[in-house]
Structure 1
């Protein structure tokens, strides 16, 4: 398939002047945060995501109305006496403990009008990672009263038709892992209830960090693999001698965030036109792959023209590199996408955006260690969750296999942290040593 449909003409959905360059930088795919977003409400994100995977929505139905319906329903069916309702109300509704009965109850967190656009976009990001995964219901052990509550809720739920974004995953390997791990949690609904927010906040951060680290590898034209990013346990010291933490730690991640807005907004301009046959949005590495496979003879000239037009439109006073191929001109375009924020009214916008991304997505995973500065950490809750997800349906896993699966999920640790992890697993009693040497160490789930 020729690349004129994928690279040129550029995305016609964005407003352009006569040069073909968009008037404004727009970010509508591959990342949910915009320039002025505030932190999302994870409870709302959970409710919105459940709407997608269950195909149901709560609409304008409130938990107060649900309480009234439950009271009248149970009394009409003569399942309870009047005086017993006060006991049930205290047990389930006064402190919203009804939400702990089943993940389905969390649909109330997505009540219409009580969530923000950023909540919707973050939920949509996860829905895209789940690749159309659908759950009919959660198989959860409950008493007969709770089953009645759920039956009453079922009658009030509306059908939710969700159309996912038509974009190829930027990080296919990570997308497959997120889908696999969510399926593991979905058949353990009580555990999902306890860990839903941790699961989402963990993978939102991992996707953010791995996406930003992978963006410069577009020229390879290959699916990105997990990039080294080193963490320690939150109780560990971070001495300057720990070279991996220094080279592949917080600072590397923080610097990578700066390229998110420039490169993703340029990627938006490079997307296929919706007027063509192909409307699926594609990653930069896929654009690179298609360029390399293309026989479209005018592609290099089109990209060259766009580079000069963009440079002129944005008044960017930098010289472009010598270019001898379409890929070289794409490289110049991406360099210009970053350079535009070093001059004029947009100066520093990419850094402000990066700072906002760090606050919203990365705060739970960053700690200051005095002279060692900021480091990336995992607390015990995240470690236990990650361990359970990695071991999955197996009874136990060799420690070195566990570490390999951590890496697949964007978590790298040095030898010192490996030893701290083993000590931690021993303290909570889910490790087996098959030899005194420690070569054969197995880790079990905690659930």
Structure 2
């Protein structure tokens, strides 16, 4: 998409009179949570995501029909009717059939098996995968399980690739997610065991890093990971640990309040034309294109929209002096937050932030008495993250591991670094050449 194609409709689409300003705030991009949201079903999210990357769907085919088809196929080959009832008990009665391959989780993507929040979460993850396509999973299975998979494959429907709807807001994190997903997909049994934890981790780190990055839109540059400090779940969180206090839970919690206001305003700022212009862009990309634009009426259009929005939402107070298009965009974003400080919308941003915290961040928060709430990683998440970071390599220097953690939004202080090394030594996947971090190597556990 050329710059002029974006900036011209971007400004012309903005209402310049209060009658054209929408009554409600809508959020259809960059974040899956809506107001008064219910917790998601991770199995459904996984099934919907697999449907996208495999380009195959389950359609109207039910697991009950699948069981009958498997029975028909195997009874004919095995020649013993009684043997089927053993297999039924082994694979179907407790739904253990879903554990033989990730592909089986496509049954969770069947209409009626998922809620709208599950679909939006799956869409968020598929956007991060950027058209990644998997042909299949190379599962080491026995004769019977291979027969089950062949039977399933015959019933799957081919699906088209999902259309691109967004430019990634956090490109560095998107690249890490795509890389980690490919690594896990090459180890399908491990993927099955860790799929929910993997998506839960990335849902959280995307949420926290997005909230921290939103204020940096004016630079017009791709955001890099912002410091957000964690401890291991068994560590003490004393008040002397300044990084935890300054760049820990409190920072994240306060940052979540801006997610709904700023992203709903970003929704209003998107062009509404067809074709390429339906691909939505982040605030920092809007800023970059404004800075490079020669469209002469842009500043005036933004100014008129700012006054129209202020009047429509009856927002009191004065706007800051503005002498450029970016200044007016800053006023607009300030208004997006100000609308929730009074009147009928008062406190909605706080309620939304609390809902997001419960749904996306709960596994990573602990209360530590006088130290208050802190961000933590339990041992299971640490092992998963370590395996993802080491990836296809045999081992990685400890300081390189920490750098890769940071690229994924996880920062730790020196005290936690030492606790991590002790933990790796206990589970036996570390090589210490000396006492310095440079001479400590960490291996995968898989």
Q: Using structure 1 for the length normalisation, give the TM-score.
A: 0.96
Q: Distance in 1 between matches of 2:14 and 2:386?
A: 43
CA contact (8 A) 1:11 1:274 kept: no
Deviation at 1:165, TM superposition (A): 4.0
Secondary structure of the equivalent of 1:442? strand
Deviation at 1:172, TM superposition (A): 0.6
**Corresponding position of 1:222:** 221
Residues 32-70 of structure 1 deviation map (CA, whole Å, 9 limit, x = unaligned): 111121011000000010110111111222222211111
Q: Higher helix fraction: Structure 1 or Structure 2?
A: 2
Superposition pairs of residues 48-447 of structure 1, within 5 angstroms: 48-76=48-76, 78-275=77-274, 278-437=277-436, 439-447=438-446
**Corresponding position of 2:11:** 8
CA contact (8 A) 2:7 2:290 kept: no
Deviation at 1:5, TM superposition (A): 2.6
Q: Using structure 2 for the length normalisation, give the TM-score.
A: 0.97
CA contact (8 A) 1:128 1:165 kept: yes
Deviation at 1:303, TM superposition (A): 0.8
* Change in CA separation of 1:253 and 1:6 when aligned onto 2, cut-off 3 Å: farther
Q: Which runs of 5+ in 2 are unaligned?
A: none
Q: Distance in 2 between matches of 1:365 and 1:69?
A: 43
Deviation at 1:17, TM superposition (A): 6.7
Secondary structure of the equivalent of 1:37? coil
Deviates more, 1:270-279 or 1:3-12: 3-12
CA contact (8 A) 2:397 2:438 kept: no
Deviates more, 1:263-272 or 1:277-286: 277-286
Q: Distance in 2 between matches of 1:240 and 1:277?
A: 51
* Change in CA separation of 1:92 and 1:80 when aligned onto 2, cut-off 3 Å: farther
Residues 238-259 of structure 1 deviation map (CA, whole Å, 9 limit, x = unaligned): 0000000000000000000000
Q: Which runs of 5+ in 1 are unaligned?
A: none
Residues 337-377 of structure 1 deviation map (CA, whole Å, 9 limit, x = unaligned): 00000111111001100000001100000000011010000
CA contact (8 A) 1:10 1:272 kept: yes
Deviation at 1:143, TM superposition (A): 0.8
Deviation at 1:445, TM superposition (A): 0.3
Q: Distance in 2 between matches of 1:277 and 1:132?
A: 16
Q: Distance in 2 between matches of 1:75 and 1:277?
A: 53
Instruction: Tell me the number of residue pairs that the alignment of Structure 1 and Structure 2 aligns.
Output: 443
Secondary structure of the equivalent of 1:278? helix
Deviates more, 1:310-319 or 1:157-166: 157-166
